[in-house]
Amino acid sequence: SLAIALLTQDLRVHDNPVLHAAHAAADQVVPLFVLDPDIAAAGFAAPNRAAFLADCLTDLDASLRPLGGRLVLRRGPAAPATARLAAELDAASVHVAAGVSAFAHRREQALRAALGERLHVHDGSLTVVVPGAVTPAGKDHYAVFTPYHRAWSQAPRRTVHRPPKALRTPEGIASEPVPTARPESPALPPGGERAGRRRWRRYDLDRYAGLHDDLAADGTSRLSPYLHFGCLSAAELAADAHRHGGDGAEAFVRQLAWRDFHHQVLAARPRAAHHAYRDRGDHWLPEDDEECAAWRAGRTGFPLVDAGMRQLAHEGWMHNRARLVTASFLAKTLYRDWRIGARHFLRLLVDGDLANNQLNWQWVAGTGTDTRPNRVLNPLAQADRLDPDGAYVRRWVPELAHIPGRAVHRPWLLAERPAGYPDPLVDPAALSDRLRGARGLD
């Protein structure tokens, strides 16, 4: 018999519940990826992620071949393309991972309509703990992280699967070539499971505890793009980190819990991808004007904000703390609608992820799950705390590279203004009043 493993955000051979189930169900397995024009139409196939995805697909095929398998690529909306292949091959079953977005729900419905009983949807590919597996009494999801994390930490874990020993994919199945894509950012990491596993093996978890908030140290794992595309299994990372033990591993696993937290919110409230999760009657300015353009270009005149935005443009990635500061600056200092910022992040982030991006933006904007929605991050206080020596700013803002120490965070105080660097968009002297007036200062 033959089973199709329709792969989506699980582009790996290690610990892949979909591949595992297809392998257990049939003696021939066809790993399938569908290049879906609906994803491109929704703006999700941004060049940085398209380039990373191309690496992932090439890498997955290379990992399947020694097992006797092969990746089949097709085009089209996923459901009809999969149903066509199932008919062509007379497949007995089709296996796919459960998703959390409205798009994934619709895709699953369309697959169900086309394939009926032959469709098998598997939990556990995306997150450490399945969305909805832990819930507060009488509710369908957790809206606050701390109690979620407590319940999450005690939730049973599934077994981590080894890669299948052998996969037989029949010869002669027509397949599209891997599409080529030119990234927008010049310094993207290489995509794919093997690159992700290499990074994970080399990553020193013990450094995480002390350095994860230090912008210049760049001490976080940078595994987010590999997690987004499922080149790595979050469940496997959590199990490895648990075995490793120590404060660094614990702090790292807590971030995986944040990822799961946002996924379970989105699974329960798919609307929260584009609408306030908690409507507090905010009236953000809807204009996408020169101030937003300056923010996007990393020319706000606030060095830490600009450093973050330039790192994003260059690497398609930004440190978490810089994401918080730059997002807060747009949403709370410039009072712009968080969706303007979320859209820009999604255009560039190689880890750009509906659950993590939209819900982190809502968290910052105060329309999400932050229990202190009035919190505003002061970009200057944050700079002194997260980049005390100014090294992160000097790395990303060449106009300021000659300014030593933390003076780099306040170029307007220098006797000689740095050439080519803009004046601050908001009067720094009035910043505190503005923040206090807006929401209360943090």
Three-state DSSP class for 294? Answer: helix
Residue 76 CB contacts under 8 Å (≥ 6 apart), including other chains: 34, 35, 36, 37, 84
Among 5, 26, 223, 231, binds ligand FAD (CB under 6 A): 223
d(CA 438, CA 442): 12
Interface with ligand FAD, residue 345, by CB under 6 A: yes
Site map for ligand FAD, 187-216, x if CB under 6 A?
-------------------------x----
Q: Closest Cα partner for 362 from 324, 310, 312, 305?
A: 324
Residue 247 CB contacts under 8 Å (≥ 6 apart), including other chains: 206, 209
Binding segment (CB under 6 A) for ligand FAD, from list 70-78, 292-300, 356-364, 423-431: 356-364
Among 20, 122, 161, 262, binds ligand FAD (CB under 6 A): 262
Smallest gap from Cβ 345 to ligand FAD, in A, equals 6
Among 249, 351, 393, 418, binds ligand FAD (CB under 6 A): 351
* Residue 29 · residue 22 · CB < 8 Å: yes
Q: Closest Cα partner for 392 from 280, 309, 285?
A: 309
Three-state DSSP class for 275? Answer: coil
- Total number of residues binding ligand FAD (CB under 6 A)? 29
Binding segment (CB under 6 A) for ligand FAD, from list 114-122, 150-158, 278-286, 318-326: 318-326
| Cβ closest to ligand FAD, residue 21 vs residue 383 | 383
Three-state DSSP class for 132? Answer: coil
Smallest gap from Cβ 249 to ligand FAD, in A, equals 11
Smallest gap from Cβ 365 to ligand FAD, in A, equals 9
What are the tokens at 394? 């000097």
Task: List the beta bridge partners of residue 97.
Answer: 122
Smallest gap from Cβ 283 to ligand FAD, in A, equals 20
| Cβ closest to ligand FAD, residue 145 vs residue 421 | 145
- Give the torsion through C-alpha atoms of 338, 341, 347, 352, to 10 deg: -60
Side-chain-side CA neighbours of residue 253 (13 Å): 24
- Give the torsion through C-alpha atoms of 124, 128, 133, 135, to 10 deg: -150
d(CA 353, CA 350): 9
User: Residue 82: what residue type?
Assistant: T
| Cβ closest to ligand FAD, residue 252 vs residue 302 | 252
* Residue 141 · residue 267 · CB < 8 Å: yes
| Cβ closest to ligand FAD, residue 119 vs residue 241 | 241
Interface with ligand FAD, residue 327, by CB under 6 A: yes
Among 23, 323, 339, 439, binds ligand FAD (CB under 6 A): 323
Interface with ligand FAD, residue 364, by CB under 6 A: yes
| Cβ closest to ligand FAD, residue 226 vs residue 421 | 226
What are the tokens at 87? 């008919």
Among 230, 352, 366, 411, binds ligand FAD (CB under 6 A): 352
Interface with ligand FAD, residue 224, by CB under 6 A: yes
| Cβ closest to ligand FAD, residue 225 vs residue 411 | 225
d(CA 287, CA 127): 36
230-259 residues in contact with ligand FAD (CB under 6 A) are 252, 255-256, 258-259
Which positions lie near ligand FAD, rule CB under 6 A?
A: 212, 220-224, 227-228, 252, 255-256, 258-259, 262, 319-320, 323-324, 327, 345, 349, 351-353, 356-357, 360-361, 364
